[in-house]
Amino acid sequence: MCIRDRGEGTHDLRGAFNVDEDFIREHFDGGVVPNGHEAVHYMLAHKESFIESDTPIFTDVADDDAARWSEIQKTAGGAPIPPARRAALDAVGQ
């Protein structure tokens, strides 16, 4: 289970998934905020490039931790966003 010590709510990446503040500063752009539904979808859309980056993603587990990514996937399933916005998130940084 993740420690929820930073950020509020189940979609806030910092508290719900222990995403590092430096990672958020470096990788979140395009109008995506780390505490909304879009955040979990953005993480999934760019999972591989985020894992390959030099900036650590999580503060408590390895960047490629399957259980953590599974939690993010599950949360995204309960965090709907419009299809057009999902397509825009997929295109950010590409």
Q: Give a yes or no: residue 66 inside a domain.
A: yes
Q: What is the rounded CA–CA span in Å between residue 39 and residue 48?
A: 15
List helix spans (H) across 1-91.
13-16, 21-27, 37-45, 47-52, 66-77, 83-91
* Least reliable range by pLDDT among 9-18, 53-62, 72-81: 9-18
How many domains would you assign to the chain?
Answer: 1
Q: Give a yes or no: residue 2 inside a domain.
A: no
What pLDDT, in 10s, does the model give residues 20-57?
999 998 988 766 788 888 899 999 999 999 999 999 99
As a whole number, mean pLDDT of residues 63-76 equals 96
Q: Give a yes or no: residue 4 inside a domain.
A: no
Domain containing 19 equals: 13-91
Assigned token pair, 82 = 């419009």
Q: What is the rounded CA–CA span in Å between residue 57 and residue 63?
A: 6
Query: Do the beta carbons of residue 22 and residue 55 sit within 8 Å?
Result: yes
pTM assigned to the model: 0.81
